[in-house]
Amino acid sequence: MTRWAWIWPTLAAIISLGVGTIELGAGGRKSPTRSATPWIILRCFVDTVVALAAYSVVLKAATHSLPKPIVAVAAGLVGVAALRTSISLDSGHGRRISISPEYAYRKIQQRIDTEIDVRGATAGANWVTSQLLPTLHEIPFNEFALRTKVYFLYRDFTDSERKTENAFITKLANSSNDEDSKRLDLLNHLIERGDQVFLRSFLDKRIPKKPLKEGDTSTLKETPPNVEKEPS
């Protein structure tokens, strides 16, 4: 074994971890929290062990016919595929034998992902109730709604998407609900949309305390992208 032989199985593990990380990120709107770290490490450990096992198998099967980098990439992909595959074989006696690594892996993965999700949801709920909601209660609903409309103006939305969002806010503003209910409905809508970064901006101490009013653009220093100024 050469001095740098460890690079190739490491590359296989990185590929497998990359796919697993993409799956984890695409699985929900919540960001992983520090309390979920042990479960994230466990998930990475499972993916790494499988990738290293796949590297050993692919290396033996390939003998010396393939370069090590190709073996490493193949092993990473084989490890990913092997955990997501179900095989059905004919036993020869009219029975079929099902071999399902996917079933076992998914059970483990679901357990780990549930723990990550629960911890992310708990942290999110604590953040909303202890920090965000008290801050939003100090802001009139009309200001909250106006800032949200301006935020949607800056977003790279189609005209249809922007009209839909503005119509939702207008309908909410014109409803007979009290301010607290309107505020909570708009907050829930933004959380469902995944707009946590915008919501965090309300906790930014640099935001001016002076409330915005309809038609007041004095705090807007630039024209939103892709929005032309009206001729004077």
Per-residue pLDDT reduced to its tens digit, 186-223: 999 999 898 988 999 998 754 555 555 555 544 444 44
Percent above pLDDT 70 for the chain = 64
Task: State the pLDDT at residue 178.
Answer: 92
What DSSP assignment string belongs to 107-174? HHHHHHHHHHHHHHHHHHHHHIIIIIHHHHHTS-HHHHHHHHHHHHHHS---HHHHHHHHHHHHHHHT
Q: Looking at residue 27, what is its pLDDT?
A: 56
Nearest to 40 by CA among 155, 95, 132, 117: 117
Distance (Å, whole) CA 13 – CA 33: 23
Closest CA to 11 of 89, 64, 68: 68
Q: What pLDDT score was predicted for residue 229?
A: 46
What pLDDT is attached to residue 171? 94
In the chain, which stretches have pLDDT less than 70?
A: 1-6, 23-33, 59, 61-66, 68, 76, 78-102, 205-232
Q: Which amino acid is at 78?
A: V
Confidence (pLDDT) at 94:
61
pLDDT at res. 18: 77
Beta bridge partners of 96: 90
d(Cα 203, Cα 206) in Å, to the nearest integer?
A: 9
Tokens linked to 90: 């004919």
Query: Is the model's pTM score more than 0.75?
Result: no
Tell me what pLDDT residue 230 has.
Answer: 45
